[in-house]
Amino acid sequence: MKKKSIKLLVVLACVLMALGMAGCGKKAYKTFPEKYKLASVDVGGMTADEAKKAIKTAVGKYKISVKLDDASFDMTAKDLGLKYNDKADLQELINAANKDKKPEKQVKLFKMDKSDELETALVDSYITAKTQSQSDATAQSDTDAEANDDEQKKAEADTQTFDIRSIVPYRATIAYNAEAGQFEGVDGVSGDAPVYDNAATNLTSAVKELKDKVELTSATGYVDGEKATDSDLVKKALKEANAYLDVMVTCNFTPATGEAATETVGKDQIAQWLIVGNDGLSVSLDGENMATYCTELAKKHDVSKKKTGQFKTTGGSVINVPVTSSGQTVDGNKLYEAIAEAINNKKSATVEAVYSEAKEEETGEYVTYGGNYCEVDLTNQMVYVYKNGELVVSSQCVTGCISKGHGTPTGVYSIFSRDKDRYLRGDGYKSWVNFFIPFNGGIGFHDASWRSTFGGNIYLYSGSHGCINMPYSAAKKLYENVTLDEKVIVYGGVDKVAGKAQSFGGAGSYNVTEGDGAFNLGVTAEDNAKLTYSSDNEGVVRVDENGNVTIAGVGTATITVKSEATTSYKAGSKTITITVNAKPQPELQRPTVQQQPEQNSQQQVPKPVTKKNANVSVGKSEIMLNVNETSNIDIKTISDTVVTIETSGGDAAVASLGIDGSIVAKKAGQVKYKIYCKATSNYNESNIVYITINVKETSELQQPETSEINNAE
C-alpha cells in the first residue's frame, strides 16, 4: 500500500511538472510587431507603457472634421468626451498581435463620457456651422450688391437666423413673450424631420478608429408636434424658465468718497439674458450680454479720477489715453459673478459692489503699463501683445463689422477673464471657440476657425459682432501670455463706410496669339483697392498677383479680378475674357523642277520639328511641418529646363520651396505652391502640380487611416 502511494505521488508530481512546463511555454511578448496600429496610432515596436503614452497623446490632440448633410465643422476630443481607458489591457493586445490573432477578451481602448449627448453635440455643431455660413453669405451679398437696390434684401437677411426649427416640423417648445413678461408654450408642427441618431452612431465608429474625417447624413423620422398645453416636458420647462424671472438682484454701490447708489436687476433685464437652447426646452444665461451690462454698470459707479497720458503705438504714432490718478474703481468681474450666482440659484439677493483703491499709473514720457499690455490697431487690423516690454504676439485680426454697426469700440480696457472651450452666443450666432479673453463686457479676443483669412479690409463689410477674431495659433499664444487686469488699448479704424459700388479700369477682353510675350492687364480700382487675380484655365493663360498674364496654350480663359473693400467702396469683381489663337504655320516653299539642280532632285523637304511632352511629378502633395523644421520632396521632371515654382495661395512667408525640393518652415500657417516646366524649343509646357505646406507651432501625431483595434465605450 505504501509503495503504491509513493508511486502515485511520483506520477502526480510528473503530471504537475508537465503542466507547469506547459504554462511556462505560454510566451508573453514585450512589444507590438513592427508597423502595427491601434486605432490608427502606429505602436509598432512599442511596449505596453510606450503604446499607452502614444495613444494618450493622440487622444489629447484628436480632432475630426465632420461633414453632416450640408454643413462642415470640426469636433475635438473634449467635444466628444473621448478619453483613453486606463484599464485597457495592452499586454493582451501585444500577445494577440504577435500571434496574428484576435484578443481572447475584449479590450476597450477608449471611454466616451458624452456618448449619450453625442446627438445633441452634433446638432449644436451643425447649427453653429449653418449660422456662420448664413452670416458669411449675407455679408458677401451685402458686399457684392448695390447699396440702394439691396437695402430691403439686406434688412430681411439681417433678421434671419438659422435655427433647427427652421427645418419644419418641430416639437412643442417655449419662447419668451415680451408683452406678457413671461415664457409661454409654442405648439409644435407634426411631420417628417431630420433624425441624427444614426449619424451619431457612425460618428462614434469613426472616433473609435481615431479617423481624421467623416461624412454623415441625417435620416428622416416622424416628429409629433403636439400642443404645448398637452406636453409634460413643456410644462416642466416653463416652470424652470419662469423661475428665473422671479429673481430680483439689488446692487449696492458704496464708495469711500462720493455718493452711495443702488441699482436693481429685475425681470425685464434678466429676460434679455436668457437663451432658449437648441432643444427648445432648456434656458441658460447669455454670458456675453450680461458681461457687457456689468462692465457698463461698473463704469457708471466708478469714482476714480483720470488724467490724460500719451501712448506710443507699435506703428510709431502717439495717441492720448486716460490714466487713473486717484479714487476708487468698481470690480466689474466680481459684480458679474455675484449677479450670475443669484440668477442661476433662482433666488433674490442683495450684492455689495467691491471697490478698490485706484493706483496712480506711471506715465513718464509715454504710458507703458509696466510693459505688459495688448494693442488692437483697428486701421491696420493687427493685434500686438507685449510681455515685460517684449513683443510676443503680432497677428492679423478681424474686428467688428462697420457696415452693420458692430464696430469694435476704441478706448483703454482691462482683461477680466481667460476662458477656454466654450460657445459664444448672441443675436443670430452661436460659435464654438477654444480661447476667449474678454476685456470690454462681451467683447474680447478669440480664435475664429470659420475664417480662412484675416486682416485687410474684411472688417468693413464682413467683420465680427465686435470681438477680435484671430487665427488659432495667435489666440492661443495671446491666451498664454496675458493675465487678468492687463490693459488693452484699442485705437484707429473708421466709424462708417460709404458703400459705393467699385469701378474698374482696363479692357474687358484680349485677343492674342500663341507665342506672344507676357502682358499686364492694366486693371485699376478706386481708392487703389487691393486686387487679386485668378484664371479659370491655366492651360491657356496664367496670371500672377500683379496682373501679368503668361500665355500657355490655345483656347479661351476667363480671368476674375477681385477688389477688397475700402472705406469708400465695397468689394467688387470684374471678369476679363482672353482668347489665344493658334500661331499661323509658315507655308513651305517647294522649288520647281526647273529651279532644282539635277543633283538635288531627290532632296527631301524639311518637316516641322515635333515637340515632346514635358512632365512634372512630386513625391507628396501635402507636407506637415513644425516651425523651423526642414524637409525635402522629390521633384521629377521630363524637360530640358528647370522647374518653375510659383506661390498659388496662402501666405508665402510660411515656408520656402527650392527647385531642388528643399523645404524650410518659417512660421505657422499654410502656403500652396504651383510647380511646372515652361515650354522650350524641344518641349511643350508641362502639366501643373501643386504642393501644400502646413506649418504648425507644435508637432501633431500622424494618424494613419487603417486600424486593427477599435473598441470604445
Are 53 and 36 within 8 A, CB to CB? no
φ, ψ for residue 429 (rounded to 5)?
-150, 155
Per-residue b/e over 33-57, b at no fewer than 16 CB within 10 Å? eeebbbbbbbbeebbbeebbebbee
**Angle between the N-to-C axes of helices 118-144 and 197-208, in degrees from 0 to 180, rounded to the nearest 10:** 100
3-state secondary structure 468-492: EEECHHHHHHHHHHCCCCCEEEEEC
Per DSSP, helices labelled H in 352-498 are 458-462, 472-481
The residue type at 39: A
Q: Please tell me the predicted confidence (pLDDT) of residue 358.
A: 66
Q: Please tell me the predicted confidence (pLDDT) of residue 426.
A: 63
C-alpha span between 618 and 675 (Å, rounded): 9
C-alpha span between 594 and 262 (Å, rounded): 119
Are 231 and 170 within 8 A, CB to CB? no
Are 512 and 520 within 8 A, CB to CB? no
What's the DSSP call for residue 550? Answer: E
Model confidence over 322-345: pLDDT tens digits?
A: 887 677 888 888 888 899 899 999
Would residue 481 be called left, alpha or beta, if left means φ above 0 and alpha means ψ between -120 and 50 degrees?
A: alpha
Cell of 119: 446627438
C-alpha span between 469 and 452 (Å, rounded): 11
Q: Please tell me the predicted confidence (pLDDT) of residue 144.
A: 52
C-alpha span between 628 and 229 (Å, rounded): 64
Residue in this structure with the C-alpha cell 502633395, named with its chain if needed: 621
φ, ψ for residue 284 (rounded to 5)?
-145, 165
Q: Please tell me the predicted confidence (pLDDT) of residue 360.
A: 58
The residue type at 214: V
What's the DSSP call for residue 400? Answer: B
Q: Please tell me the predicted confidence (pLDDT) of residue 589.
A: 55
Cell of 62: 484628436
pLDDT along the chain (713 residues), means of 10: 39 39 58 90 92 91 89 84 89 90 86 77 75 57 46 41 54 86 88 80 89 88 83 91 93 87 91 82 79 85 83 93 79 86 92 78 76 95 96 95 88 88 69 87 88 88 90 94 93 83 86 87 85 90 91 91 83 90 68 49 52 83 86 85 82 82 86 86 84 77 38 38
Are 225 and 188 within 8 A, CB to CB? yes
How far is C-alpha 167 from the chain's CA centre?
26
Residues 6+ apart with CB under 8 A from 316: none
C-alpha span between 349 and 338 (Å, rounded): 9
SS3 121: helix
Angle at 19 between CA 17 and CA 21, to 5 degrees: 70
Per-residue b/e over 335-345, b at no fewer than 16 CB within 10 Å? bbebbbebbee
C-alpha span between 329 and 306 (Å, rounded): 11
Residues 6+ apart with CB under 8 A from 319: 310, 311, 313, 489, 491
Are 380 and 332 within 8 A, CB to CB? no
pTM greater than 0.85: no
Q: How far apart are the first and last CA of the chain?
A: 61
CA dihedral 145, 148, 152, 155 (to 10 degrees): 80
**Angle between the N-to-C axes of helices 48-60 and 90-98, in degrees from 0 to 180, rounded to the nearest 10:** 110
C-alpha span between 294 and 290 (Å, rounded): 6
Residues 6+ apart with CB under 8 A from 560: 533, 534, 536, 573, 574, 575
